[in-house]
Structure 1
Amino acid sequence: MSFQPPRTAALTGLVLAGVLALSACSDDGRTSSAGGFVTADGGIDTVVQGGRQVPNALKGETLQGEQLDVADLKGKVVVMNVWGSWCPPCRAEAPNFVKVAAETKAQGVEFVGINTRDTNRRAAIAFENDYGIKYPSLYDPTGRILLRGFPKGSLNPQTIPSTIVLDRDGKIAARALQPLTEEKLRKMIDPLIAER
């Protein structure tokens, strides 16, 4: 039997899609404290400043067709929200992200969405328009960016919605595996805004 990389990549994408499908739109908030992560009340995992990892490449085309590389945002706190237009908890949390994004931009915070499992770009763009989302979203219908973007053993997105926050050094600092209220979102990013 010969080695077929495209088939392997397709199979890997299907496995990721299956995992996300099984856990899609989960809101139980339960997380593990293994691996050096600290789970705070409310299901937010954090990593102490000296133990954080740099993600792999988080780059690609946005829903609007522009190129975006999250590494170019180093020096800012970056909030990455994994969402799908078909996901009810994503719709519930979207207004909170829009509000906090606008209020924290002047403090050096950038928001980036990662849209996944939307095979139709129009549905995802309509979602952004409906909620007034002004920040860019990487278009990742097959989960390729998600699969390659986070090193083994790091805080990584495991459900939809998930939120990952990078510190100003571009390292993975916090994660939530649940829809977020404005209060919980600020609880994730305020300590990172204060870090120097």
Structure 2
Amino acid sequence: MSFVRAPRRTLLAAGAGALVAALTLSACSGDSNGKSGGGGDTNFVTNTGGISTAAKGERPDAPELTGKDLTGSPLDLADYKGKVVVLNVWGSWCAPCRSEARYLEKAAQQTKDKGVQFLGINTRDTQTGPALAFEKEFGVSYPSFHDPIGKLMLKFPKGSLNPQSIPTTIVVDREGKIAASAPRALDDKALRSMIDPIVAEK
């Protein structure tokens, strides 16, 4: 019996299709029942609210995130090193994302003068139109990476982000380390409970 090797382009397309299918099958989760992306190869500790934190000196490096925003302009996480960066993974199709959008914007405005930068990672929106309409509807002022098939999400170290949990919010400290993660929708109080201790660090 002879086997015919599939063309490399076909294999790559199949792999990308499998990734999209896996993301599509995963529910848009607004409640992880206290479980989080903590664990794995990280030193995260999860509190009863489902927010995982890692002590300074025990934090994994944030990945290199480069790409384009929803308007097609270049966007690079490295440009914000020295700031506390709040990354929110979201999609325009996700009901919990709609619920938390106003709280994210509120927290972004409250903390922008404290050296905090919010960035989104928009995923599973194959076209940017619905995502741009989402931002306009909720008055989102900060940029988002356009990551339709989750390539950027897969760059995060194991245990710091579960690609199946959308929305997820991650806080990166001034040194470019992942300090906190929450795989669920958050209100402004929960967001500030993640952000403020990182801002206060010396």
Same fold at TM > 0.5:
yes
Counterpart of 2:117?
A: 110
Q: Percent of aligned pairs with the same residue?
A: 49
Map residues 88-103 of structure 1 onto 2, 5 A cutoff: 88-103=95-110
Cα deviation digits, residues 130-183 of structure 1 (max 9, x gap):
111110000111111212x212x2401431111111011111111111111111
Counterpart of 1:19?
A: 22
- Given residue 156 of structure 1, which amino acid in structure 2 is its aligned partner? L
Asked if 1:62 is matched to 2:69, the reply is yes
Structure 1 residues 6 and 194 mapped into 2: Cα distance closer, same or farther (>3 Å)? farther
Residues 85 and 119 in structure 2, CA contact (< 8 A), matched pair in contact too: yes
Cα deviation digits, residues 30-74 of structure 1 (max 9, x gap):
325534320012101111111111122211000011101101111
Map residues 156-195 of structure 1 onto 2, 5 A cutoff: 156-158=161-163, 159-195=165-201
Structure 1 residues 123 and 77 mapped into 2: Cα distance closer, same or farther (>3 Å)? same
Counterpart of 1:73?
A: 80
**Cα distance in 1 for residues equivalent to 2:31 and 2:142:** 27
Query: The residue matched to 1:50 in structure 2 has which SS?
Result: coil
Structure of higher CA gyration radius: 2
- Given residue 175 of structure 2, which amino acid in structure 1 is its aligned partner? D
**Cα distance in 2 for residues equivalent to 1:11 and 1:46:** 36
Residues 97 and 185 in structure 2, CA contact (< 8 A), matched pair in contact too: yes
Residues 13 and 143 in structure 1, CA contact (< 8 A), matched pair in contact too: no
What TM-score, normalized by structure 1, do the two folds share? 0.91
Q: Which moved more, 1:15-24 or 1:122-131?
A: 15-24
Shift of 1:2: 4.7
Residues 112 and 135 in structure 1, CA contact (< 8 A), matched pair in contact too: yes
Structure 1 residues 10 and 57 mapped into 2: Cα distance closer, same or farther (>3 Å)? farther
Q: Which moved more, 1:101-110 or 1:136-145?
A: 136-145
Q: Which has the higher helix share?
A: 1
Residues 20 and 160 in structure 1, CA contact (< 8 A), matched pair in contact too: no
Structure 1 residues 86 and 51 mapped into 2: Cα distance closer, same or farther (>3 Å)? same
Counterpart of 2:128?
A: 121
Counterpart of 2:147?
A: 140
What TM-score, normalized by structure 2, do the two folds share? 0.88
Residues 82 and 157 in structure 1, CA contact (< 8 A), matched pair in contact too: no
